[in-house]
Structure formats: structure tokens, C-alpha cells
Amino acid sequence: MIRSTLKKYRFSLLFISLTSLCTSTLAQNPVREIGNIKSVKVTGQEIGITTDNGYANIILYSPSIIRVRIDKKQLQNDQSYAVIATPEKIKNAVTNNATEIIIQTDSLKAVVQKKPFSIAFFTNDGRVINEDEKGLTTSWVGNEATTYKHMQEAERFIGLGEKTGNLDRKGNGYTNWNTDVYGYRTDADPIYSTIPFYIGIHHGLNYGIFLDNTFQSDFNFGASNDRFSSFGARDGEMNYYFIYHSTVRDIIRSYTQLTGRMKLPPLWSLGYQQNRYSYYPDTEVLRIAQTLREKKIPADGITLDIHYMDKYQLFTWDKERFPNPLQMTTKLKDMGFKTTVIVDPGIKIVPGAPAFERGLKADAYIRYVDGKYYSGQVWPGWCYFTDFTSAKGRDFWKKEVKFFPDNGVTGIWNDMNEIATWGQKMPNNVLFDFEGKKGSHLQAHNVYGALMARTSYEGIRAAMPDERPFILTRSGYAGMQRYTAIWTGDNRSEDDHMLLGVRLLNSLGLSGVPFTGMDIGGFTGNPTAGLYARWIQAGAFFPYFRNHTTYNSKASEPWSYGEEVTEIAKNYIGLRYKLLPYLYSTFYEATQNGMPVVRSLAIDNTFDNVVYEPAFQNQFLFGQSILVAPVESTKEMTKVYLPTGTWYDLYTDKKQTGGDEKLTELKLKQLPVYVKESAIIPMQNLIQTTAETPGDTLKIHIYNGSMQNSFVYYEDDGKSFAYEQDNFYKRTIHFDPLTKAISFDKASGKLASKFKQLLIILHGFTGAENFSSNGTSLVSTATKTFMIEDEKKFAPTSELKISNNADAFSIKY
């Protein structure tokens, strides 16, 4: 008995010693590894995993999308402000053996190793797409969770939203923490918005990874190491979606299937927008509008900055500067202008002020942990801030923004919504509702701007149910494309900032946001006449075409830089308006598949190394067929890279063979622009505002080429949501060089086209003289087509004019 008791005592001492040693080892190790898999449970398309030090779920979302969730504690029902898709029911097979879990879909295979937990993704023929770095996989340092991926040989990384730097992000690291950065450097990081989604490229393969975590996140693409790429967040769970397709465009399609796609914007928002910080009083606003009309510079919008308000107090007008705002906005509307105003999230603390008091009554503001309201200083002084993670806060805001349409305002420009406050140090112990789950400022910060934009959208739509809202934001998060356009903040009047802005738009487009723009001419500083000309030329091809400059700077309207620049601006803005049928159809495409309007050449030329070179990374496609090469204002010569194929000079129709660099002489009056072979580009007559009717003829430019091509032409009323009930006109146009046919499918939709005639303009069809439509001979007219005025002789084209009826027809040549 004594011997048995002694044995038990010794065993207990040994157990206590071993437990203490393990605890001590864990305490001394600041990195908590996920460890080995202990148990696996397969339930339909979800695999639940328990490891030594954590828990994981792998969820099959589609044949091409696999979601991975990892945390130190049991995974709970989660919530996302970005992802709106739910898992599809798909065909799959899961094999669970002693060493690994194998997950197979029609598109890819995932293999989960058990000792230790790690994931690798393969094509169905066995090629490695992406894999965890052996020995590192996923781990925690404190509450920060990071996943480490093996960096493949010559791997490239593109996307990640509004990030400065090169198109290829290899060798760099980035932080996502939305930040108000006035006049930011061209290498500044972070800046205003967060989209934690990137595309990896290697060995003829490409994949996407979206980390859906609103805490501060960090991405490393080989910065300070030669072993791995990584992504992680300062708190919350590791929660990422892995996307595999054979093309970048399909990865964008799947990513926007997850996070949603934009709705059609109002047509007027695609026109030229004249901004200033600030236009006041009302007589100055009307003078600017009148001058645009007198000088025949097309325009659709005037924007008012913070000086329209009474001492910057939200939901007010300065009664001296704007004694009758509705009268002013009505006059502008009669001239073909829509009015957009700036709206900041801070509501001035003024006891007795109606909006402020309504916010208190609604319990709409964010609070400290002890229940007191958080106050921060912005333009109006001390302010409270609406909690957009709260249904009560959103309901309050949606009712308040009715103030703007009641005063004839059509567009809402959400600014300072990072949240920006003087000092830039909002306390972390401020609490947000998070749909009743509660979260700190650390969790809410990156998503705040996107939720403000969403709430503004919903409020304006409720106030104007028959009109599409136009919402612009400075800050945002993944999924913001469902509600808002974004511009790239307080840029500078410098050549390198103009080119950086193009890369930002390219990267935002790669990251699911089609409606993007920047301040033409630069917000801070004063551009030279040459820089302004180059910027407005490029801006004619940006989705959101906005001119803007700061307070106390030189005036930056198109006529402010002399007659030559005025004419350049007039010509390129005019070209923009002629191209509106092409542009609007491209926006329609974005609503269907997420493809951006401004398209990095990496989308269609993913494995062409030249498109990533710094000399060519700023080039982009405007829609599917127009290549734009922005150039610095100081250059007299430049190199342009045209990808493989045949290209046409926009201005002369001169053919260029792609696949190599072109040394191009520059003229200030022309920006290098090229049209892809087999392009189909619908255009209209010049108008001064989208409120005008562009005549009865739609001009369809067809460029001869060796490739088949199709273009979906789309139109609707440009202002309402009637298109959701099939009130649109849509027709697909095909070009087939093999059958020598240009064919038009039967139109779909309930709406009749506003164009009664089609003028088909053929480029590069040398020797083609006999044309027929469904067996009937057509007479062609040799003419010259002018897109931008120039003294050069233009190449002759052929024109065919036919009725725009609803039946399918084809033209043979």
C-alpha cells in the first residue's frame, strides 16, 4: 500500500513537472504555431479541423473558390461587410487519410497536410498553384495571425487596391490602415482605402487571395526576405478566399462575384466634372457653369467643397454665400449640370442644432467604453461621429441625407471618412456596434468609409427612388464597388503623381473597383500648362473625369492655361462625349462581370514580361480596345509598347505591328492612343451635356483585323432603375475576319434605341469595295473620319448607313 501510494506520488510529480515545462516552453515562445491536426469532421462542403493550437474550417464556395478560416479559438458564425455571396452547391470529393486531406473540385485540388497543418493548391493536372511555406504555415504573434506562402520562382504580385509603387509588387510590403495623407509621396503607404486582395502570377498560372479581415492587415511580397510571401491581420481570425482560374479576368469575375458588382451609374456622372476647393458664392458657381457653356467645353457636373456649409456644419448652407441653394441648383440643372457636394462624417457638437439633436435622440454616435460619446476635431471643430456599423446609426444618416436632394443636390462626395481627425489618433477604446456584436476602433477603422458610402447610397436612393445615386468616396474597403466611386485623394501637381494616379486606377481595377478617378491637374500645387494638358488628355479616358484643385492655388479650369491648352482640353473632353456609347457599354460590362473600365495591360497580357517594366506599366486599355499611353509633360519622345497583334493610330489609322517597343515623337496636342485590331467602337455626335440628345445616328467604328471579336452595345434611360425590369436596349455586334462578316444580333430588352440610324465606319478594309446586308448591296462612301482635330491627312474610310431595326442582320465585305 505504501509502495503504491509512493508510486502515485512520483507519477504526479512527474506529470506536474512535464506540464510546467510545456507551459514554460509555450510562455517563452512568442510565436504560437498552428501545430498538427488532431481531428477532422467533413460536413457537406465544409471541413472542420482541430489542431494542437487552433481550429480551422475549409469551405468550398465554388469549383474555383475555397475559403480558409483559422483561429486560436472555436470558430463562430461570422459576418462580413465585403462578401455577399454564399457557397454554391458543387460537385466535390474529400478524402481523409492518416497524413492528409485531399479536396477535389472540377477546377482545382487542395491538399491539407496534417503534420503540421498546411495547405497547398494544385491544378487538376498536378501543377502547384500556391502552397504554404513549409515550417511556417500559419501562426500567431500575440493576437496577430499570419499565413506564410512559399514564394515561387519569378512570381509576380499585382492588385491590392489603392497602393503606390509598381504594378508588380514583388519585393515590397504594404499595410492596410486607411489614412488621411495630404499631398502624399509617390511611395507613401498606407493611403486612403483598403482592399486586401491580390493576384499571384507564376509559371503560366495565376490565382487570387482575398483576406477578409477589417483589422490592420499587412502583406509582404518578399520584402526583407527571400523565402515567402505573407498576409496577416493584427487581430481577428485568419480568413481568406483562394481563387483559381486560368485567366486574370476570370479571377476578377470570381472576386466580384464574392464581393459584389457595381450598379449602373447615372449617365451624367460619366461626363466631365468641374471642381474646386472651393467655388463660392452662388454667383461664382453659376459663372463657372456659364463659362463652360460659352466656351463649348462639354460638362455635366459642378462640385461644391466645404465652403458651401455654415461654418462647416453638416446639413446646412452658408446663407450669405448661398442664400437660395435650391434656386441655384435648379438653374444649374436647366443648364445641363448636376450638383455634387462634399459630406464629412463629423457632426458638429452644437446643442440645439436639429441634426445634432436628432443624432443624440437616435443614439447614432460612437462612444467610449464607459458610455460617453467620442468627440474629435475636424473642420467644424469638435464633432460626434455616426456609427455606420449600427442599424440605428445608418437609419439616422439615411434620413439626414434627404437634406441634399431636397435642395436639388444629386451627388454625394464622402470625404474625411478614414476616419480623419486632427491629430490622426482616434483612440482604440472607442466602441462600435458591429450589428450588436460590438467591436473597437481597431476593427471598425478600415471599413468605416465604405459603410458611410453605403449608407449615403441607401439614403439618397430612398429619397430619390426614381434616380440613380452618385456617391463618391475617399476611403473604402473591399466591396465598396457596390455603392460608390472612389478617387485617389489629395494628390500633387507633378508628372510622377499623374503617372502614379494611373497605376492606382489600374490597381483598383484589378481589385474589383471599376468607377475610379483622380484630381486632374493635381490637388496641391500648380501644374504647368504642359502638365495640365497631358493630365486632361489622359483624364478623358478615366472612368470618373474630375478636375480639382486646392484652396489658394491658381485657378485650374480648362481656360486657365492659355488658348492652346483650352483647345486641347476642349478636343479631348469632346472626344470623351463622343465615346459615351462605348464607355456606357463598358460600364454595363462591369456590372455583369466586374471587368474594370481602366484595364491594366496585365489583365490580357499576364505573361508578357514587358508590360510590367516601369517604362510601360502606366499604359492601360480604356475598355476592351483603346490603348492609352500617358506621358510626362517634359518629354518630346517616348517609348510605347503595343502588345502582340495589329494596332491602329487613333488619329491617322496608321497600322502598327505589336510585340515590341515603339519610339514615338510627341506633340502636346496629341496623347499616344491606339486602337486594337478587330475593335468595335460605338460613338455618337458631340454634345455639351448628357442632358442633350446626341442625334439619331449611332456611329460604329470597325477596325479590320485577324481576330474574331464581339462587343455588347448597351443603352437605357441613363438615370433610373427601370433597366432592372428589362427597360434597356442591348445588341451584340460581331466581327469575323474568317467569314468576312460584321453581324448584329437581334436586340434584346423592352426599350427602343434612341438612335434610328447606324453609320458603320470601316477602318483598314483596304480593297473592300462591295458590301451587302442580308443579300442586299450597300453603297459605301469614302470619307475622312476626324476624332481629334489635326492638320494631318487622315486615312480614308468607308461608311455604310443603314436603319437601326431590331432584327438581326450582317454585312459582308
pTM for this entry: 0.95
Q: Is residue 721 part of a domain?
A: yes
- CB contact at 8 A, 341 and 317: no
Question: DSSP assignment of 315-336, as one string?
Answer: T---TTT-S-HHHHHHHHHHTT
Cα(780)–Cα(416) distance, integer angstroms = 56
Residue entry with cell 466602441: 431
The mean pLDDT of the chain is: 94
Task: List 301's β-bridge partners, or say none.
Answer: 273, 338
Q: CA angle, 792 as apex, 786 and 798 as ends, to 5°?
A: 45
Cα(556)–Cα(571) distance, integer angstroms = 17
Q: Is residue 671 part of a domain?
A: no
Does residue 382 carry a pLDDT above 70? Answer: yes
Instruction: Categorize the per-residue pLDDT at 5 as very low, low, confident or very high, splitting at 50, 70 and 90.
Output: very low
Percent of the chain residues topping a pLDDT of 90:
90
For CA atoms 26, 32, 35, 38, give the dihedral sign: positive
pLDDT score for 17: 43
Q: Is residue 79 part of a domain?
A: yes
Of 490, 495, 519, 715, which is the active-site residue? 490
Helix axes 354-361, 391-400, angle to 10 degrees: 160
Question: DSSP assignment of 165-210, as one string?
Answer: S-SS-TT-EEEE-----TT--TT--S-S-B--EEEEEETTEEEEEE
Instruction: Give pLDDT tens digits for 570-587.
Output: 999 999 999 999 999 999
Cα(155)–Cα(137) distance, integer angstroms = 18
Cα(317)–Cα(253) distance, integer angstroms = 43
Q: Which residues of 28-39 are buried (b: 16+ CB within 10 A; e: fewer)?
A: eeeebbbbebee
Three-class SS state of 561? helix
The answer for residues whose C-beta is within 8 angstroms of residue 30's C-beta and 6 or more apart is 141, 142
For CA atoms 402, 406, 407, 411, give the dihedral sign: positive
The secondary structure element, H or E, covering residue 502 is helix 495-510
Give the pairing of strands 238-245 and 228-233: unpaired
CATH of residue 142's domain is 2.60.40.1760
Instruction: Categorize the per-residue pLDDT at 795 as very low, low, confident or very high, splitting at 50, 70 and 90.
Output: low
The burial class, CB within 10 Å (0-12 / 13-18 / 19+), for 7 is exposed
Which of 227, 259, 291 is the last residue in one of the domains?
259
**Cell numbers standing for residue 267:** 449617365
Instruction: Categorize the per-residue pLDDT at 73 as very low, low, confident or very high, splitting at 50, 70 and 90.
Output: very high
Q: What are phi and psi of 279, to 5 degrees?
A: -95, 115
Of 155, 168, 282, 415, which is the active-site residue? 415
pLDDT score for 284: 98
Domain residues for the domain of 789 are 680-812
Three-class SS state of 545? strand
Nearest to 508 by CA among 220, 158, 260: 158
Does residue 775 carry a pLDDT above 60? Answer: yes
Does residue 784 carry a pLDDT above 90? Answer: no
For the segment 169-178, the average pLDDT, to the nearest whole number, is 98
Q: Is residue 792 part of a domain?
A: yes
**Into how many domains does the chain fold?**
2
Does residue 788 carry a pLDDT above 70? Answer: no
Instruction: Give pLDDT tens digits for 253-301.
Output: 999 999 999 999 999 999 999 999 999 999 999 999 999 999 999 999 9
Instruction: Give pLDDT tens digits for 438-485.
Output: 999 999 999 999 999 999 999 999 999 999 999 999 999 999 999 999
pLDDT score for 15: 41
Instruction: Give pLDDT tens digits for 595-632.
Output: 999 999 999 999 999 999 999 999 999 999 999 999 99
Helix axes 495-510, 529-539, angle to 10 degrees: 10
**Cell numbers standing for residue 456:** 449615403
For CA atoms 246, 252, 256, 262, give the dihedral sign: negative
Instruction: Give pLDDT tens digits for 218-257.
Output: 999 999 999 999 999 999 999 999 999 999 999 999 999 9
For the segment 331-345, the average pLDDT, to the nearest whole number, is 98
Biggest alpha carbon distance in the chain?
116
Q: Is residue 355 part of a domain?
A: no
Task: State the DSSP code for 132.
Answer: B
Q: Which residues of 706-745 are buried (b: 16+ CB within 10 A; e: fewer)?
A: eeebebbbbbbebbbbebeeeebbbbbbbbeeeeeebbbb
Of 212, 237, 344, 418, which is the active-site residue? 418
Instruction: Give pLDDT tens digits for 530-561.
Output: 999 999 999 999 999 999 999 988 999 999 99
Nearest to 193 by CA among 211, 207, 181: 181
Nearest to 546 by CA among 794, 200, 275, 144: 275
226: annotated active-site residue: no
Q: What are phi and psi of 132, to 5 degrees?
A: -65, 145
Nearest to 550 by CA among 522, 591, 580: 522
Cα(265)–Cα(716) distance, integer angstroms = 11
For CA atoms 39, 42, 45, 48, give the dihedral sign: negative
pLDDT score for 35: 98
pLDDT score for 801: 86
The answer for residues whose C-beta is within 8 angstroms of residue 147's C-beta and 6 or more apart is 70, 132, 137, 138, 230, 231, 232, 238, 240
The secondary structure element, H or E, covering residue 509 is helix 495-510
Q: Is residue 640 part of a domain?
A: no
Instruction: Give pLDDT tens digits for 716-753.
Output: 999 999 999 999 999 999 999 999 999 999 999 999 99
Q: How far is CA 615 from CA 171, 221, 604, in A?
A: 18, 22, 18
Instruction: Categorize the per-residue pLDDT at 770 as very low, low, confident or very high, splitting at 50, 70 and 90.
Output: confident
- CB contact at 8 A, 162 and 195: yes
Give the pairing of strands 338-343 and 301-304: parallel
The answer for residues whose C-beta is within 8 angstroms of residue 790's C-beta and 6 or more apart is 651, 669, 670
- CB contact at 8 A, 694 and 753: no
Which of 238, 259, 280 is the last residue in one of the domains?
259
pLDDT score for 9: 42
Three-class SS state of 220? strand
Helix axes 563-578, 529-539, angle to 10 degrees: 0
- 422: number of Cβ within 10 Å: 11
CATH of residue 750's domain is 2.60.40.1180
490: annotated active-site residue: yes
pLDDT score for 786: 47
Q: Is residue 522 part of a domain?
A: no
Which of 259, 279, 300 is the last residue in one of the domains?
259
Instruction: Give pLDDT tens digits for 400-449.
Output: 999 999 999 999 999 999 999 999 999 999 999 999 999 999 999 999 99
Instruction: Give pLDDT tens digits for 341-354.
Output: 999 999 999 999 99
Nearest to 215 by CA among 23, 19, 434: 434
Instruction: Categorize the per-residue pLDDT at 28 as very low, low, confident or very high, splitting at 50, 70 and 90.
Output: low
pLDDT score for 785: 52
For CA atoms 626, 629, 633, 637, give the dihedral sign: negative
Q: Is residue 493 part of a domain?
A: no
pLDDT score for 803: 85
Which one has a higher pLDDT value, 639 or 77?
639
pLDDT score for 22: 42
pLDDT score for 791: 34
334: annotated active-site residue: no
Residue entry with cell 464574392: 258
